[in-house]
Structure 1
Amino acid sequence: MTTIALNICLLSVINLLIVIESTSSMENSTIVFDFKNDNYEEITLCETYEDIIYPTIGKTSAGVDMLIVNTPEHRQGIRISMCQNIGQPCNNLNNFVPSGYVTACKQQYTYRELVSLGANNQIIKDKFEFPSSCSCALYRIRN
């Protein structure tokens, strides 16, 4: 029996890869299609806004607000990507979503290690949470 999984990865406006994995008891192979040429037009499912920020305060992975070192001598820039339509239906999918399901744009986060001020003003490294991408999520409606 063959199982086909379709994984859609929205990496950036330039890089859209669709990976189709085909697995069976006799073979295990991956076929990768690269859509960077002019034959394909990328359709954005969720609008995003990208920026580089230089934070001075942030929430650590432990949930603690801490001061982040960001001075003219020691700049720590972070690239962020923010959903512009969090909780709204994903673009261009209305005709493809089966009955009993809805789509919504969802903010994704990642952790970045930055130099910060710890207890007694000691310089330490800690992980801080930042918005990293926007995904289109499919939700089943519960009855």
Structure 2
Amino acid sequence: MVAPLCTIQLWIILVVLQNESSARPQDGNTGSKTIEFLNETRLRILTNPPKKDLLDNDQEIIFPDDPELVNPVSRIDVFSKCSEDFPLCENAEAYPYNHLKTVLQQNLVYKDLFGADEVPEVANRIGEEDDVFVCRSITRTIFPKMGQNKNNKWKFIINQGDEDGFVQGVRIEICRNLDGECDFPGYLPEGYKTSCRQKYVYRRLLSVNNDGNPIPDTFKIPSACCCAYKQNLDFLSRFGKQFTPATKRKNKK
């Protein structure tokens, strides 16, 4: 009776080992797997996504309502052709041209907001042709695609080009000799020095908000070059007193 009992126990062990072997997955693929165990079908869910799906997860910003969603628009963090010393930029590498073209075509009401400032001809400018300014300047019209708003934040400015008709031309005047001495035809009073300073105005232009939609914003525009003067502290410190025009006239008497 002992031998048949051992045979039965051995047979049971073999059956258990065979079932455990069939329950193991046969490949290394991830996802959902179906296994059989003692004639029962169970579904095992592998929670870790495939590594390829993790690598292909795109984190770039995409503007809403984009018909193709194939050209994601990145944040404004590329200034290779822009200078932080100048508040406007005509060349913006990340400018969302295709997205804005679609948005503007769907909202033609914005059409009346576009146009370009005109620079007056020399013959029509105020003053005589032989007038000389103590601070020389350059006047021209530009079409910026990026600029610093009144809060010193860089924002896109809508300028699609003449072909689309959505342009915003801005007349600017910039100093030729910024922070240089003014061109006075003579000598300055002792104790004073001059410099050419850039002046600015604030102007509303059609910009782009964080959702990719047109919205007005206020931008800093170079408008004039003016001469400023102040007392030369280095000169005054050497003589130990302050000179003013009134003091000089009093001494002459």
TM-score in terms of structure 1 length: 0.69
Identity %: 31
Match of 1:10 in 2: none
Residue 47 of structure 1, CA deviation: 1.0
Amino acid at match of 2:145: T
One-letter amino acid of the counterpart of residue 137, structure 1: A
The equivalent position to 2:223 in structure 1, one of 132, 137, 143, is 132
- What is residue 99 of structure 1 aligned with on the other side? 190
Match of 2:158 in 1: 69
Does residue 1:50 correspond to 2:142, yes or no? no
SS at 2:211's partner residue?
A: helix
Greater percentage in strand: 1
Partner SS, residue 70 of structure 1: coil
Once residues 208 and 185 of structure 2 are traced to their aligned partners in structure 1, the CA distance between those partners, rounded to angstroms, is: 46
- Alpha-carbon shift at residue 94 of structure 1 (Å): 3.8
Alignment RMSD (CA, Å)? 1.8
Q: Which runs of 5+ in 1 are unaligned?
A: 1-12, 17-35
Deviating beyond 6 angstroms after TM superposition, the runs of 4 or more aligned structure 1 residues are none
Give the number of equivalent residue pairs.
108
Unaligned regions of 5+ residues in structure 2, if any?
1-121, 238-253
Determine if the alignment matches structure 1 residue 82 to structure 2 residue 171.
Answer: no
Who wins on radius of gyration, i.e. which is larger?
A: 2
Structure richer in helix, relative to its length: 2
The alpha carbon displacement at 1:93 in A equals 4.4
Secondary structure of 2:179 counterpart:
coil
TM-score by length of structure 2 reads 0.40
Determine if the alignment matches structure 1 residue 116 to structure 2 residue 207.
yes
Once the two structures are TM-superposed, the CA of residue 15 in structure 1 deviates from its matched residue by 2.5
Distance 2:197 2:134 in 1: 11
Distance in 2, matches of 1:94 and 1:102, equals 13
